A and B are shown apart, each in its own frame.
Chain A
Amino acid sequence: MIELKNVTKEFKVGANDKVVALKDINLHVKEGEIVLLKGPSGSGKSTILSLIAALNKPTSGEVIVDGKRVSKLADNFTSLFRRENIGFIFQRYNLIPTLSAKENVIVPLIPSNPDSAWLNDRLKKLFTNFSLQTKMDVIVKNLSGGEQQRVAIARALINNPSIIIADEPTANLDKKLSLEFIEILKKLKNGKNSIIIASHDPLFFDLDFIDRQIDIHNGEIS
Chain B
Amino acid sequence: MKSRFNTFLFDFSILSIFRRGSKNIFIFFVFTLLIFLLSSVLFISNSIKSELDTTLNALPDITVQRLQAGRAVNMPLSRVNKLLAIQGVKAVVPRVWGYYYFANAGVNFSIVGIDSFEDQYRDLYTKLCDKFDFDALKKNRSMLVGSGVKKILQNNFYGKYFNFIKPDGGLVKVKIAGVFKGDTKLESNDVIVLPAKKAREIFGIDKDKAVDFVLRIANPVEIPNIAAKITALYPDTRVITKEELSISYQNLFDYKGGLFLALFVISAFTFFMIIYDKASGVSSDEKREIGILKAVGWTIDDILKEKFYEAFIISFVSFVTALCLSIFYVYFLNAPLLKNVFIGYSNLKPAFDLPFSFDFQTFAIIFFLTVPIYIAATIIPSWRVASMDADEVMR
Contacts and interface: CB of A to CB of B under 8 A. Distances in A.
Nearest to B288: A94
Contacts of A114: 8
B222 interface: no
Interface in B279-301: 289, 291-301
A155 interface: yes
Contact of A111 (B3, B6, B15, B291): B6
A122 to B, nearest CB: 13
Nearest to B12: A110
A56 interface: yes
Given A79-B299, A83-B297, A99-B15, A113 B3 contact: yes
Given A75-B300, A111-B9, A113-B6, A94 B295 contact: yes
B2 A110 contact: no
Contact of A106 (B8, B295, B300): B8
With a 10 A CB-CB cut-off, give which of B12, B20, B298, B301 has the most chain A CB atoms: B298
A132 B145 CA distance: 78
Contacts of A83: 296-298
Interface residues on A, range: 20 to 34
A57 interface: yes
Nearest to B6: A113
B130 interface: no
B302 interface: yes
A76 B205 CA distance: 88
B391 interface: yes
A146 interface: no
B299 A55 contact: no
A218 B381 CA distance: 36
B302 A111 contact: yes
A76 B301 contact: yes
B173 interface: no
Contacts of A50: 391
Interface in A99-117: 99, 103, 106-111, 113-115
Contact of A94 (B9, B292, B300, B301): B292
B2 A82 contact: no
A57 B392 CA distance: 11
Contacts of A84: 297
Contacts of B347: none
B7 interface: yes
Interface residues on B, range: 20 to 34
A109 B387 CA distance: 20
A159 interface: yes
Given A56-B391, A113-B8, A103 B15 contact: yes
Nearest to A114: B8
With a 10 A CB-CB cut-off, give which of B293, B295, B296 has the most chain A CB atoms: B296
A145 B59 CA distance: 81
A96 interface: yes
Interface string A174-192: 0000000000000000000
B297 A55 contact: no
A88 to B, nearest CB: 6
A113 B11 CA distance: 11
A76 B299 contact: yes
B300 A110 contact: no
B394 interface: yes
A111 B9 CA distance: 7
A134 to B, nearest CB: 21
Contact of A113 (B7, B293, B294, B389): B7
Interface in B248-295: 289, 291-295
A79 B297 contact: yes
Contacts of B292: 94-96, 107
A80 interface: yes
Given A99-B15, A106-B8, A111 B299 contact: yes
With a 10 A CB-CB cut-off, give which of B3, B12, B289, B299 has the most chain A CB atoms: B299
A162 to B, nearest CB: 13
B19 interface: yes
B297 A108 contact: yes
A115 B6 CA distance: 11
Contact of A99 (B19, B299, B387): B19
Contacts of B214: none
Contact of B295 (A55, A98, A99): A55
A82 B391 contact: no
Nearest to B11: A110
A94 B298 contact: no
Contacts of B9: 110-111, 113
B176 interface: no
Interface of A: 50, 53, 55-57, 75-76, 79-80, 82-84, 86, 88, 90, 94-96, 98-99, 103, 106-111, 113-115, 155, 159
The 9 closest A-B pairs by CB, nearest first: A83-B297, A55-B391, A108-B296, A111-B302, A79-B299, A113-B6, A56-B391, A98-B19, A76-B299
18 contacts: A55-B294, A55-B295, A56-B391, A75-B299, A76-B300, A80-B297, A82-B295, A90-B394, A98-B19, A107-B12, A108-B298, A110-B8, A110-B298, A111-B9, A111-B299, A111-B302, A113-B6, A155-B296
